[in-house]
Amino acid sequence: MVEGIFDLILETVITQKESIHVSGQEYPAELVKSKFLKLNYSHIEYVLGCMGKNTTKIHNIKSYLLTALFNAGSTMSSYYKAMVNHDMPQFAGQT
């Protein structure tokens, strides 16, 4: 799975297209490339964890992963904060 994610990131970063379709939207390719180049191990681990918990049928895995990777930098912190709030409500509201 990690190899497939690596291939998708590489394919996206080297594309010559001017725009890339992500989650039903067209984004400038440079924006998508920039977000993908900022991904690190933690983001990949987050996406893999989310994939492991998913129980719904994914019809287009490439599109799903592209969206998950595109959003990882923006959503990872909020996701983990929500988990902490759920598991340890005494810490909810603290930053």
Contacts of residue 21, defined as CB under 8 A and 6 or more positions apart, other chains included, come to: 27
pTM of the model: 0.80
Amino acid symbol at 64: Y
pLDDT of residue 95: 58
- E strand spans, the chain: 19-22, 25-28
pLDDT per position in the chain (95 positions), as tens? 899 999 999 999 999 999 999 999 999 999 999 999 999 999 999 999 989 989 999 999 999 999 999 999 887 765 556 565 666 777 666 65
Q: Smallest Cα–Cα separation from 66: which of 47, 42, 38?
A: 47
pLDDT of residue 32: 97
In sequence order, the β-bridge partners of residue 19 are: 28
The answer to whether residues 76 and 69 touch, using CB atoms and an 8 Å cutoff, is: no
